[in-house]
Amino acid sequence: AQTVTQSQPEMSVQEAETVTLSCTYDTSESDYYLFWYKQPPSRQMILVIRQEAYKQQNATENRFSVNFQKAAKSFSLKISDSQLGDAAMYFCAYRSEAGIIIQGAQKLVFGQGTRLTINP
Amino acid sequence: DAGVTQSPTHLIKTRGQQVTLRCSPKSGHDTVSWYQQALGQGPQFIFQYYEEEERQRGNFPDRFSGHQFPNYSSELNVNALLLGDSALYLCASSRRTGEAFFGQGTRLTVV
């Protein structure tokens, strides 16, 4: 079974600075997606960024970028120019692509989360 | 587009009772998944419905059951509630091969 580990329960950063959140995962599969979700106090999970395992190029979305190291099974999230609105719980998640044609979209396996605080 | 909607937003139940949570998927989505998120934890997969059938199930007892209707909406039922069932229950919808969109969840408190 796949597992996702986030080793930083809490992180804090000064506004406008850069912060990196860590995530490692364990899988024997070769075809999968990795995601970072943000969960603000409103509780709704919001997709921040995703990475296809077959792509070597790291994904970027505006101020958010990832460092995907497939061999090391590492998937970190870098937030540049941190803003007060970035404060939230951040979850790393894994999704297998195996069996997707028959079963449909696969389940997400989440890490334990990292609480990010932005200091003004 | 209303996105994924869940009802109710909050619920308080007594041990031993039964509860039904509801989810309407985002327009165009045909797959609904349910997750349980205990306080301070990441969401745990309960089960997933596609074409009105349960396609995948996580490590949850049979007290947790569900249903998907022809309009793709879904229900999560929990019987014989335990204190440990207190959690945020999240619904996510997707197309079969697409990314998941989440609702705001139902906060269930069992007393």
Q: Tell me: the pLDDT tens digits for B65-96?
A: 999 999 999 999 999 999 999 999 999 999 87
CA pair distance A9, B91, nearest whole angstrom: 24
The encoded tokens of residue B16 equal 């031993």
Residues of B in contact with A113 (CB under 8 A): 40-42
Return the residue in B49, B56, B89 with the most chain A beta carbons within 10 A, the one to mutate for interface testing. Answer: B56
| Residue A1: per-residue pLDDT | 79
Considering only CA atoms, which of B100, B77, B68, B105 is closest in space to residue B89?
B105
Q: Is the pLDDT of residue A72 over 70?
A: yes
Task: Using the Cα atoms of residue B55, residue B60, residue B66 and residue B72 in order, give the sign of their dihedral.
Answer: negative
Neighbour-count burial of A86, counting CB atoms closer than 10 A to its CB (0-12 exposed, 13-18 middle, 19+ buried): buried
Number of domains present in the structure of chain A: 1
Confidence of residue A100 (pLDDT cuts 50, 70, 90): low
CA pair distance A119, A16, nearest whole angstrom: 9
Give the CATH H-level superfamily of domain B5-110.
Answer: Immunoglobulins (2.60.40.10)
Cα angle: B108, vertex B22, A112; to 5 degrees? 50
Residues of B in contact with A4 (CB under 8 A): 42
CA pair distance B42, B53, nearest whole angstrom: 26
Residues of B in contact with A103 (CB under 8 A): 50, 55-56
Contact A117, A11 (CB under 8 A): yes
| Residue B37: per-residue pLDDT | 97
> Would an 8 Å CB–CB cutoff place B21 in contact with chain A?
no
Q: Is the pLDDT of residue B99 over 90?
A: no
Q: Which residue type occupies A67?
A: N
Residues of A in contact with B93 (CB under 8 A): none
Percent share of chain A, pLDDT over 70: 94
- Average the pLDDT over A23-48 and give the result: 93
* Sequence ranges of the domains in chain B: 5-110
Which residue of chain A is at minimal alpha-carbon distance from B88? A43
Q: In terms of residue numbers, what domain contains A42? A: 3-119
Give the pLDDT confidence of B29-73 residue by residue, as tens digits: 999 999 999 999 999 999 999 889 998 899 999 999 999 999 999
Chain B closest CA to A45's CA: distance in Å? 6
| Residue A102: per-residue pLDDT | 61
Q: How far apart, in Å, are the Cα atoms of B78 and each of A82, B16, B17, B54?
A: 41, 10, 9, 15
CA pair distance B16, B9, nearest whole angstrom: 21
- Average the pLDDT over A86-111 and give the result: 84
Cα angle: B95, vertex B57, A36; to 5 degrees? 55
> Would an 8 Å CB–CB cutoff place B42 in contact with chain A?
yes
